Amino acid sequence: MMEQQQQRLRRWSDLWFAAAAKPLKHVVLKMQLADQTLTLEDPLPRPGNGTDLTAMLTDELLLRILAAVPDTLLPASLVCKRWLRLVGRLRHSLTLLDWSFLDIHILSRRFPDLTDLDLVSASFVSPSFAAAGGGAMLSRGPVSVAAETRADPPIGECHFLEPDVIDRGLKTVARDCPGLRKLSLVAVASEAGLMAVAEGCNTLQELELHRCSDLALRSISAFTNLQILRLVGSVEGLYRGPGVTDIGLTILAHGCKRLVKLELGGCEGSYDGISAIGRCCVMLEELTISDHRLEAGWMAALSLCGNLKTLRFVSCRRIDADPGPLEYLGTCPTIETLQMQRCQLRDKRSFHALFMVCEVVRDLVFENCWGLDNDMFSLASICRDVKFLSLEGCSRLTTDGLQSVVLSWVDLQRLVVVSCNHIKDNEVSPALSSLFSVLKELKWRPDTKSALASLAGTGMGKKGGRFFKRV
């Protein structure tokens, strides 16, 4: 029996050495090859034979190379899994289009260094047909959603995801993206979801809340480092919300005293809400009012913003229905820039009150504003310290109306006139022409004919005989 066991053990050892002899032989051969040094006579690997030449580069070096090549992040991510992972580290801004991306918990693994995240477009409920690859997209500003073209009417109220779904997504963002500095979301989540973001993303400096309400602003004080805030109560053509009233503006004023920039879009309120912001947010330097629904008399509170430097109106149908007596308006002592973009300027009384509040303004910008004729523009002569004037798309303003105001500004240094069809070159007076010669910056293109006139002598604008000669 002992002899049989010894023979059996001997057979197992023979089998093991026979199986291990070949791998050990290759290991010894590889160790010998590793000791050899590469000489000039040794052939180098050539591209195209399946060799990855970037495998010898470290991740840090390859990241520096990819970051130096512009507009190639998307194609580069398709090369291999390693490049996909590295390109994700280079992306710092992301607009999420599908909320389910948060449910599978790969946001931090795919994009570990995100600082700017937009969740607005992903917060809308997509129609069933859009998932099948059909349908049209409805865009309103930076937001695009799928429109239900089969519905009657095809464009109606857009719906959002359920609050508990958005809550879970916000908790994922708070856990996986602690380095966020800017976040855009829809304020239909509960207070717990916003509190989770405030606690997890303590470096957040810029916040954008769509469909915001007074209730959603109760937790705004938890964002201790917030400096830039955009509140959108409703967007015409996309959604209607409960809106932001004086209650919400007062909560905001007491909770965000370090605000530097504030935008109120589609918000309600009155003098009480704006005055609370002016008294509490002493660091506020830039205020944007877009498509507002503020009550009459709110503009008198602007003088309480003691550090305001930039005042901007965007897509406003009116400025103030009843600004009240001019002696009660006051002025913004530090105002430097007044911008009007796509606004309706037909109320002479409110327009006059606005210039009284911004009497010391230095930069005036009007872009595609309706109703800005000679009579309305003449009110700008109240502002004596204007150094920069920009007019774009002001089709009702004429040459006489322009020069009657700009000739009264002795400190004017820069002038931009673009696409103002009633301002003509042949109507420029000698006094206005002499003003042009002393300006530091002049961009004069009131219509397309003026642009072609500046190319006189170059042959541009003629028929193709100059460029196509017969042979």
Q: What is the average pLDDT across 35-44? A: 42
Give dist(CA 93, CA 117) in Å, integer.
Answer: 6
**Is the pLDDT at 151 greater than 60, yes or no?**
no
Question: Would you state the structure tokens that stand for residue 7, as one six-digit string?
Answer: 């023979």
Domain that holds residue 380: 95-126+141-403
Which residues 6+ apart lie within 8 Å of 69 measured at CB?
76
Does 387 map to a domain?
yes
C-alpha dist (Å) from residue 228 to 94, 209, 214, 341, 460: 19, 11, 18, 20, 47
- Concatenate the DSSP letters of all residues of 2-23 into one string: HHHHHHHHHHHHHHHHHHHHHH
C-alpha dist (Å) from residue 331 to 95, 278, 302, 308: 40, 13, 8, 11
Give dist(CA 275, CA 299) in Å, integer.
Answer: 9
pTM over 0.85: no
C-alpha dist (Å) from residue 335 to 361, 396, 461: 5, 27, 44
Task: Give how many domains the chain has, as a whole number.
Answer: 1
Burial class (CB in 10 A: 0-12, 13-18, 19+), 360: middle
Which residues 6+ apart lie within 8 Å of 400 measured at CB?
374, 427
Q: What is the average pLDDT across 88-103? A: 79
**Is the pLDDT at 182 greater than 90, yes or no?**
yes
Does 122 map to a domain?
yes
- pLDDT-wise least confident of 48-62, 311-325, 361-375: 48-62
Give dist(CA 63, CA 57) in Å, integer.
Answer: 10
Instruction: Report pLDDT digits (tens) over 237-263.
Output: 777 888 899 999 999 999 999 999 999
Give dist(CA 339, CA 361) in Å, integer.
Answer: 11
Mean pLDDT (the chain) is 79
Does 286 map to a domain?
yes
Does 451 map to a domain?
no
- Exposure on the CB side of residue 430, measured as CA atoms within 13 A: 0
C-alpha dist (Å) from residue 110 to 6, 62, 64, 100, 145: 59, 17, 18, 14, 24
C-alpha dist (Å) from residue 440 to 219, 387, 413, 437: 49, 10, 5, 9
- pLDDT-wise least confident of 118-132, 291-305, 426-440, 456-470: 456-470
Q: Which residue in this structure is represented by tokens 């219509």?
A: 447
pLDDT of residue 239: 79
Q: What is the average pLDDT across 273-286? A: 96
Band of pLDDT at residue 27, cut at 50, 70 and 90? very low
Which residues 6+ apart lie within 8 Å of 432 measured at CB?
399, 402, 403, 406, 407
User: pLDDT: is 243 or 336 the higher one?
Assistant: 336
Does 189 map to a domain?
yes
Does 228 map to a domain?
yes
**Residue pair 427/402 in contact by the 8 Å Cβ criterion:** no
Does 72 map to a domain?
no
Give dist(CA 423, CA 429) in Å, integer.
Answer: 12
Give dist(CA 355, CA 369) in Å, integer.
Answer: 16
Give dist(CA 253, CA 221) in Å, integer.
Answer: 9
Give dist(CA 70, CA 110) in Å, integer.
Answer: 20
Listed ranges 80-94, 123-137, 143-157, 231-245; the one with the highest mean pLDDT: 231-245
Cβ neighbours of 185 (radius 10 Å): 25
**Is the pLDDT at 147 greater than 60, yes or no?**
no
Does 61 map to a domain?
no
pLDDT of residue 4: 55
CATH code of the domain in which 330 resides: 3.80.10.10
pLDDT of residue 464: 43
* Backbone φ and ψ of 172, nearest 5°: -65, -45
Q: Which residue in this structure is represented by tokens 């502002």?
A: 383
**Is the pLDDT at 457 greater than 90, yes or no?**
no
Alpha carbon 315 to its chain centroid, in Å, reads 17
pLDDT of residue 50: 56
Q: What is the average pLDDT across 423-441? A: 91
Quick one: what percent of the chain has pLDDT higher than 70? 69
Per residue in 212-232, is it b (16+ CB within 10 Å) or e — as a string?
bbbebbbbbebbeebbbbbbb
pLDDT of residue 23: 46
**Is the pLDDT at 365 greater than 50, yes or no?**
yes
**Residue pair 173/183 in contact by the 8 Å Cβ criterion:** yes
pLDDT of residue 49: 52
Give dist(CA 81, CA 367) in Å, integer.
Answer: 47
- pLDDT-wise least confident of 79-93, 128-142, 275-289, 425-439: 128-142
